[in-house]
Structure 1
Amino acid sequence: MHHILVYGDSLSWGIIPDTRSRFRFDQRWPGIVELELLKTGVSVRVIEDCLNGRRTVWNDPFKPGRNGIEGLEQRIEINSPLSLVIVLLGTNDFQSMHNLNAWQSSQGLAAIVASIRRAPIEPGMPVPPILLVAPPQIQEAKGQIAPKFQEAETKAAGLTSAINIVAQELGCHFFDAGSVTTTSRVDGVHLDEDQHLALGEALAAEIKILLL
């Protein structure tokens, strides 16, 4: 059986836009990936490690534990052996309390990749391949999260390209979520239910190839 770790934030946790509720496992993209792969005969378990507000390598001044690199090596050790680690992070680097650009966020992802690869896994277990997924381009934030993501759409300009460059330089797989979906029509940042479906189905097809 393949074990796949999804390391992400609220876009993968499945927050329902402009609420504090959560989509069901079969409605959010990691669950859709698992169900789609199982349908095609791939024996797989998708492990979700997704935290609302998680950054790449920066702290949230208001909530502890949102720095994505802290404890990551232990998460890899806990869940090994892994056939694949999927990382979908970056969106929260552009919250209004941070003055970061796309290149800086992509370097945060480079540090995440390095942390995954130096995890103290048990002897004989594989260092897992990594799939970096660039989030869809942030739109102007609406609703409850508008103050938190003020001007994020401007600060995040060029993020997809920057993540792609990091993936190429570090020998990671890459997928542009924006190639199959936009961000939410409701809040401009997260994913609506149909967008989770589109992303999950597209990633399942990509992942099946990677697991062959």
Structure 2
Amino acid sequence: MKQILVYSDSLTWGIIPNTRQRFSFEQRWPGVLEQQLHAEQHSVRIIEDCLNGRRTVLDDPFKPGRNGLQGLQQRIEINSPLSLVVILLGNNDFQSPHNFTAAETAQGVATLVSAIRQAPIEPGMPIPDILIVCPPPIIQPKGAIAAKFRGAAEKWQGFKEALEQIASQQDCHFYDAAMATSASKVDGIHLDQDQHMALGKALSPLIAQLITD
């Protein structure tokens, strides 16, 4: 059985836009992805490691444990052997307490890639391939999250291009989620249920190819 670790934030955790509720596993894009791969006779297990508010390499000034670099190598060690790690992060770096540019946030993802490849896994276990997924562009944040994401849509501009460049430089696979879906019109950040479905189905053929090559 191939194991895939999804390392992400609330976008993948499945927060229902403008609530504190969560979509069920089969409604979230990793669950949709797993179902699609199983339907195509791939023996695969999707492991979700998704934390609301997770940054790339920044600390949340109000909640501990949101720095994505902290503990990452141990997560790789815990879940090995892994065939693939999917990273979908970046949006929380654009929250109002931070001044990261799009290029700096992409560099934060590059730091995570290096950490994954240097994780102290057991001898003989593979260093996993890495797929970087760019979240769909932030649109005007609305509702309860609007204040902490003020200015985020402007900061986000250029993130896809910067992240794609990092993927090329770091020899990672890349996928632009905007090819499958936009961000929710409800809050401008997260994904609605149909958008989770679209992203999971769109990633399925790419990930099927990556785990069988």
Same fold by TM-score greater than 0.5: yes
State the shift of 1:185 in Å.
1.2
Specify the code of the residue in structure 2 equivalent to 1:52: N
State the Cα deviation string for residues 5-53 of structure 1 (Å, max 9, x = none).
Answer: 0000000100000000000000000111111100000000000000000
Partner of 1:57: 57
The answer on 1:150 being equivalent to 2:150 is: yes
Specify the code of the residue in structure 2 equivalent to 1:129: D
The answer on 1:96 being equivalent to 2:115 is: no
The answer on 1:22 being equivalent to 2:22 is: yes
**RMSD (Å), alpha carbons:** 0.4
Counterparts of 1:104 and 1:125 in 2: how far apart (Å)?
A: 32
Partner of 2:196: 196
Partner of 1:84: 84
Unaligned runs of 5+ in 2: none
State the shift of 1:178 in Å.
0.8
Partner of 2:13: 13
Correspondence 1:1-212 to 2 at 5 A = 1-212=1-212
Counterparts of 1:30 and 1:92 in 2: how far apart (Å)?
A: 20
User: Does the residue aligned with 1:92 lie in a helix, a strand or coil?
Assistant: helix
Moved over 6 A (4+): none
Superposition TM-score, scaled by structure 1 size: 0.99
User: Does the residue aligned with 1:65 lie in a helix, a strand or coil?
Assistant: coil
State the shift of 1:90 in Å.
0.1
State the shift of 1:143 in Å.
0.4
Counterparts of 2:104 and 2:20 in 1: how far apart (Å)?
A: 29
Q: Percent identity?
A: 60
State the shift of 1:100 in Å.
1.2
Superposition TM-score, scaled by structure 2 size: 0.99
Counterparts of 1:94 and 1:152 in 2: how far apart (Å)?
A: 5
Specify the code of the residue in structure 2 equivalent to 1:2: K
Unaligned runs of 5+ in 1: none
